[in-house]
Chain A
């Protein structure tokens, strides 16, 4: 089914390596988000974008970077500066404009360190 597609499902990173997680949506949503989920920690916001070519840092942006060149795509790069990257990463999107709009989530990418 459509909606939000994250790839890959599993990703392994070597020390000092940057890796990029893909997030694509076909919902025509303006806003997109990246969350990190650790056991017992809930979801924490890394970056979000409300419109193409614009994005803002979330609560834990250090060691991550994003781009929003197209409305349907919001890739997340986990850089070598992120010292504890092992986690489950979730991408979400929502219709722009107004309180009460729900977010739609992808299936997630699990990142592990080799």
Chain B
């Protein structure tokens, strides 16, 4: 069965510290991978996607096919990064469905 795991429900760091939000997936084939973010009182929105190899708001995510992981990283966390983060692999085969992890709530303390 296709599955995505975000092992940390809650993650708390201090401002300026590095942060890593973990995501592991179990999929047949090679899924496309996304990170979505939901800030307080805002709608869920795309943060970044693997296919674009981009860095958004200082965040990057590296796909490790051997470990089947897509961890989200930022070298220096900011208070405005506090939010709920969801890892979401996308199935292939025409349906383009996203399968969301249960999310990690990141709190960046001053």
Interface residues of A, Cβ cutoff 8 Å to B: 31, 33, 35, 40-45, 48, 50, 56, 58, 90, 94, 98-108
Contacts and interface: CB of A to CB of B under 8 A. Distances in A.
Contacts, number: 54
Contact of B9 (A40, A45, A106): A40
A40 B51 contact: no
Interface string B92-105: 10111111111100
B25 interface: no
Contact of B101 (A33, A42, A45, A107): A42
Interface in B19-62: 32, 34, 43-46, 49, 51-52
B43 A100 contact: no
Prevailing SS type, chain B contact patch = loop
Contacts of B95: 48, 50, 56
Nearest to A95: B96
A103 B34 CA distance: 10
B45 A105 contact: yes
Interface residues of B, number: 23
Interface hub of B9, B49, B96, B102 (most chain A Cβ within 10 A): B96
B86 interface: yes
Contact of A100 (B44, B51, B94): B51
A45 B49 CA distance: 20
B97 A102 contact: no
A105 B43 contact: yes
B97 A48 contact: yes
